[in-house]
Amino acid sequence: MAMINLHEGNFEGSVSGDGIVMVDCWAGWCGACETFRPVYEKVAAKHPEITFGSLNTGVEKSLVSKLGIEHIPTLLLYRDGILLFQQPGYYEEGEMEGILQQAETLDMDLVRSEIVADVKKQDVKSTTYKEDPND
């Protein structure tokens, strides 16, 4: 699959579907980003079954803020619409392959059940906590 240039208008639709989506968050002024780009493109070429996206953080500042990206390059990985990995840094080809392999073999039913359990815990905390108006 070709590299997708991601922006505010297509980001959510690109990462929310079935399958794996890896996103390189970069900027034109970032030397580490320029060094990482060929590695990212090489891994993308080896995995046509995976969607690879490119997010220019210098242009998409609102989206970058929403995603909480503070350092670049940052690598994001989604599977079936769930963000599984968000980490800044330069990754070698073998490290990226390892990240993809972990994502491919992950039990997504288990991930979804853990998300539901975490949400239920948060709901319980928010409904049981009451401020004492006398404090």
Q: Is 1 or 114 the better-scoring residue by pLDDT?
A: 114
Phi-psi region of 19 (alpha: psi -120 to 50; beta: other; left: phi over 0): left
User: Domain map of the chain by residue range?
Assistant: 4-128
Determine the residue type at 12: E
pLDDT of 75: 97
Pick the CATH number of 4-128 from 3.30.460.10, 3.40.228.10, 3.40.30.10, 3.40.50.2300: 3.40.30.10
- How far is the C-alpha of 106 from the C-alpha of 73, rounded, in Å? 25
Give the count of beta carbons closer than 10 Å to the beta carbon of residue 89. Answer: 12
pLDDT of the residue at 129: 52
Q: Given a cut of 90, is residue 18 above it in pLDDT?
A: yes
For 72-113, the pLDDT digits (tens) are 999 999 999 999 999 999 999 999 999 999 999 998 888 888
What's the whole-model pTM score? 0.84
pLDDT in tens, 37-65: 999 999 999 999 999 999 999 999 999 99
Which of 3, 4, 30, 82 is flagged as catalytic? 30
Catalytic residue among 21, 22, 25, 33: 33
Catalytic: 25? Answer: no
Q: Establish whether the linkage from the previous residue to 73 is cis, with ω within 30° of 0.
A: yes
User: What is the reported pLDDT for 117?
Assistant: 80
